[in-house]
Structure 1
Amino acid sequence: MYRPGAFAETDLAALDWLLARDAFATLVTFDGQQPFATPLPVLYARDGDAVELRGHWSRANPQWRHGGNALVIVHGPQAYVSPGWYPDKRENNRVPTWNYAVAHLRGRLEIHEDPGFLAAVVADLSQRHEDAIGSDWRYEPENPAHVSQLRGIVGFRLRVEQVDLKFKLNQNHPAANVRGVAAALAASTREGDREVAALMLDRLARREPGN
């Protein structure tokens, strides 16, 4: 990922935030001829610098046979930025851009077909997302109908070896420009715009005086 220094994040708390916000990611592998991508929900865990993802595919999805190195793209909020929102737009000939937060996670895929691993992934995913919507469906290990469904999926674990975090939030602009863009985005009806505005103001508050 192209990641200029001004936009590079090093604190893994930013990764925690991205995956708590939205753990529906894009898993990219290589089938020997071309890249192959699958959007899917993941289970995220971090212990210090050790990061791990778990999830599963439909057995009909050929990606589970690829194995090897993989890239997971974690998508954060994004927003269009109009040059009209910059106070210095005329003197500096400002142009449109896009602000966003994203993470690229690289590692080697471990493929799992054992029922215990698959049951744990299904149970953990369903509990997380059922709780989030106030519903109560659960995987029942004693239910033969539930257990039989495990034959239709293949699980994976990705032990992350490289984390690239990019939060592009006008950090290379004067503070007045950041405030102008954040104010415009905060007034938007689009939730993603308002999330970007909050991130911009947070990063601005972290700046060294005079920057």
Structure 2
Amino acid sequence: MYPPRHFAESDLAALDALIERDNFITLVTVADAAPQVSHLPVIYRRAGDHVELIGHWAKVNPQSRNPGPAKAIVHGPHAYVSPSWYPDKDAAARVPTWNYAIAHLDGALEIFDEEAALATLVDELSRQQEARVGQDWRFDYERNDLRVQLKGIVGFRLRVQDIRITFKLNQNHPADNVRAVAARLAQGEAAPAREVAALMLDRLARRE
């Protein structure tokens, strides 16, 4: 991913926030010169600059047979920006754009299929998501009918070696433009647009 200088983020707290918001990543690998893509929930681990993503595929997914280099894309909110919202739209000949927050994590995939490790992963993922929807389902390792289903999945661990975070939020514009666009996005019905507005104002406050 090309990170324009104005929009590159170096604070890993930004990555923490993106994953907390949405841990359903896009995982990209290459096999026989062809891209392989999966969309998967993951467990996020960070200790200082050390980052890992842990998840699983269905065993029938061909990506599960190709450990090695991989890219994980962490998706944040995004929204269209109309040039008509800029106070200097005519003087500066403004054009349409798209504001967004995203992260690309490159590293090496390791595969595991030990039953106990897979059970722990499924349990942790389900606990995380059940809490978000107000439910309490748990993976019961003592139930054979649940445990046998672990044979149908393969776990992975992505040890991240390079992190590129981009928050494109009109940082290259005058403050009046940022405030005007954020105000319009904040009035929108779509939640991601309102999230972008909040991020824009946060980055503007840091700049000022």
- Give CA deviations for 1:39-79 in whole Å, capped at 9, x if unaligned: 01011010010001000000010101111100000000000
Q: Could you tell me which runs of 5 or more consecutive residues in structure 2 were left unpaired when the two chains were aligned.
A: none
Q: Which residue in 2 is equivalent to 1:199?
A: 199
Q: Secondary structure at the match of 2:120?
A: helix
- Residues 33-112 of structure 1 mapped to structure 2, 5 A cutoff: 33-112=33-112
TM-score normalised by structure 1 residue count? 0.98
Quick one: distance in 1 between partners of 2:35 and 2:159? 20
- Give CA deviations for 1:98-133 in whole Å, capped at 9, x if unaligned: 000000001000000111111111000000001110
In the alignment, residue 35 of structure 1 is paired with which amino acid?
A: P
Q: Secondary structure at the match of 1:101?
A: strand
Q: Kindly state the Cα deviation for residue 92 of structure 1 after the two structures are TM-superposed.
A: 0.6
Q: Secondary structure at the match of 1:172?
A: coil
Quick one: distance in 2 between partners of 1:53 and 1:69? 14
Count of residues in Structure 1 that have an aligned counterpart in Structure 2:
208
Quick one: distance in 1 between partners of 2:139 and 2:112? 18
- Residues 142-157 of structure 1 mapped to structure 2, 5 A cutoff: 142-157=142-157
Percent identity between matched residues is: 60
Q: Which residue in 2 is equivalent to 1:115?
A: 115
Quick one: distance in 1 between partners of 2:207 and 2:77? 21
In the alignment, residue 71 of structure 1 is paired with which amino acid?
A: K
Q: Which residue in 2 is equivalent to 1:2?
A: 2
2:174 is the alignment partner of 1:174 = yes
Quick one: distance in 2 between partners of 1:120 and 1:159? 18
Q: Which residue in 1 is equivalent to 2:185?
A: 185
Quick one: distance in 2 between partners of 1:145 and 1:137? 15
Q: Kindly state the Cα deviation for residue 182 of structure 1 after the two structures are TM-superposed.
A: 0.1
Q: Secondary structure at the match of 1:38?
A: strand
Q: Which residue in 2 is equivalent to 1:23?
A: 23
Q: Which residue in 1 is equivalent to 2:11?
A: 11
TM-score normalised by structure 2 residue count? 0.99
Q: Kindly state the Cα deviation for residue 33 of structure 1 after the two structures are TM-superposed.
A: 2.0
Q: CA RMSD in A?
A: 0.6
In the alignment, residue 170 of structure 1 is paired with which amino acid?
A: N
192-201 or 138-147: bigger deviation? 138-147
Quick one: distance in 2 between partners of 1:86 and 1:158? 41
Quick one: distance in 2 between partners of 1:204 and 1:103? 20
- Give CA deviations for 1:78-103 in whole Å, capped at 9, x if unaligned: 00000000000001100000000000
- Give CA deviations for 1:19-45 in whole Å, capped at 9, x if unaligned: 000000000000122111000101101
In the alignment, residue 62 of structure 1 is paired with which amino acid?
A: P
